[in-house]
Amino acid sequence: MKRSFRYLLFGLAAIMMVAAISSCEKDGGGDPGTDDNDALFESILKEYVESTVVPTYKSLAEAALEMRAANEALKTTPSDETMKAASDAWMTARIAWEISEAFLFGPVGEQALDIDGHIDSWPLEKDAIDAELENIAKAMEEGKPGLTGKEAWQMDAEVIGFHVTEYLLYRDGQPRPVGDLTPAERNYLVAATDALVWDCVLAYVAWVGEANVTAEMRTVFNENPDVVAHLANNPNYNDFAKRLTTKEGYSSWGDALSEIAVGAGEIADEVGATKIEAPYAAQKTEDVESWYSWHSLHDYQNNIQSIKNAYLGGFVQKEDNSGYSRPAASLSAYLAQANPALDTQIKAKIDECLTKIAAIGTGDLSFYEVVRDQVNKTQVDAAVTACGELATLFSSVEGALE
């Protein structure tokens, strides 16, 4: 996620929605704003944490470790096979990250541990990357180890994270020929991946607490003392799941539950306004996220899938997961009783966003090509509008939780 445009201003959007929702009837589940809903809201938050957030960050941490193993194999034994494994591992980890972005109100956010800014900033600082590669090559010529993961973790966000590893692995939507990677690039790739691994594991540990992850995860978390210190220096974001499920620091259960809607609304707005509309309007391909792998439209759809998981509950990476059932307790289930019209609108708009973002690639185009060639404007505008409307709908949820 780009570091700017981080917070959504809901005021105007809320005013726009008043007329649409003021006539909606509220029935069942207790009257919003009363103590009758406290136990219900608590159960929704518990389900949200246990069935959506925790599995998502666990999957991300595991995918990052697989990426580390694949990139280390590529470094030591470069071949077509290890290159394919490394690029596939990057893609798996990337999906796991993008499907978490509806939860950026927690430890990962800019106002907290800023894992988001550290792991997912773009555009890259290409000149700085080239200079670092020169330094690595020189060090290696002198028999020195090159860049280490601990050094990489301290570097500027624009030269590490998902997008520098993507840059080292991909060109024009395809994995690079293995012979194109220099020893310095393979060194940089492994060091940057170590930094990424620590950030992904940090996100998981920060949400659930170090005592509640596996011994392997604890070992990885403690590999870098600076990572451990970063969490220790921000105790309000340690074991954040417990804070959310006990409403610690929140004025009410409704206030805590509104985090789900705020997080969903913010990423919906960002997908439309920042990730899609801004680079297209400016005709700047360098501002297209994930443009080396041409994975942008999948990124954006995964962001919307993150919203769907947050709202409906559970952890679904793709909607074709046959036999999967959403949990009974969710924000959607509550609104289906408290404000059924709004719930119906939100669910329909989520699916509309997924469909319209996919349509941007009409003609089997990547978003990079769409921006570069300034085509499919109708589809771009439709997707931007749908995302903005989804953000507006989520801005109306807080009123039902007071």
Handedness of CA 198, 129, 111, 247 (dihedral sign): negative
Task: Tell me which residue of 241, 189, 187, 196 sits closest to 223, measured CA to CA.
Answer: 196
What's the pTM value of the predicted model, to 2 decimals? 0.90
187-209 mean pLDDT? 98
pLDDT band at 296 (very low <50, low <70, confident <90, very high): very high
What are the pLDDT digits (tens) for 312-329? 999 998 766 656 789 999
* Pair 330, 44: CB distance under 8 Å: yes
Given a cut of 70, whether residue 172 has pLDDT beyond it is yes
Under DSSP, the state recorded for 182 is: -
User: Tokens for 166?
Assistant: 């993507």
pLDDT band at 2 (very low <50, low <70, confident <90, very high): very low
Please list the residues that pair with 175 across neighbouring strands.
170
Q: Please name the residues in contact with 252: beta carbons below 8 A apart, sequence gap of 6 or more.
A: none
Under DSSP, the state recorded for 177 is: P
User: Tokens for 145?
Assistant: 């180890």
Given a cut of 90, whether residue 15 has pLDDT beyond it is no
The more confidently predicted of residues 17 and 113 is 113
* Pair 26, 49: CB distance under 8 Å: no
In the prediction, which pLDDT does 319 show?
63
CA 302 vs. chain centroid, Å, equals: 8
pLDDT band at 399 (very low <50, low <70, confident <90, very high): confident
Q: What is the distance between the alpha carbons of residues 391 and 226, in angstroms, rounded to a whole number?
A: 36
Residue entry with tokens 């106002």: 111
Distance set, CA 395 to CA 81, 106, 199 (Å): 48, 18, 30
Please state, as a whole number, how many other Cβ atoms lie within 10 Å of the Cβ of residue 305: 23
* Pair 386, 393: CB distance under 8 Å: no
Q: What is the distance between the alpha carbons of residues 264 and 375, in angstroms, rounded to a whole number?
A: 29
Q: Which amino acid is at 232?
A: A
pLDDT band at 36 (very low <50, low <70, confident <90, very high): confident
For 102-232, where are the alpha helices, taking DSSP H only? 115-119, 126-141, 149-153, 161-169, 183-208, 215-221, 225-232
234-260 mean pLDDT? 96
Distance set, CA 195 to CA 71, 191, 224 (Å): 13, 7, 9
Cα dihedral 332, 337, 338, 339, rounded to 10, equals 70
Given a cut of 90, whether residue 297 has pLDDT beyond it is yes
Q: Output phi, psi for 170, to 5 deg.
A: -125, 155
3-state secondary structure of 175: strand
In the prediction, which pLDDT does 325 show?
83
Handedness of CA 174, 175, 179, 185 (dihedral sign): positive
Q: What is the distance between the alpha carbons of residues 106 and 303, in angstroms, rounded to a whole number?
A: 16
Mean pLDDT of the chain: 91
Rg (CA), the chain: 21
Given a cut of 50, whether residue 290 has pLDDT beyond it is yes
221-246 mean pLDDT? 97
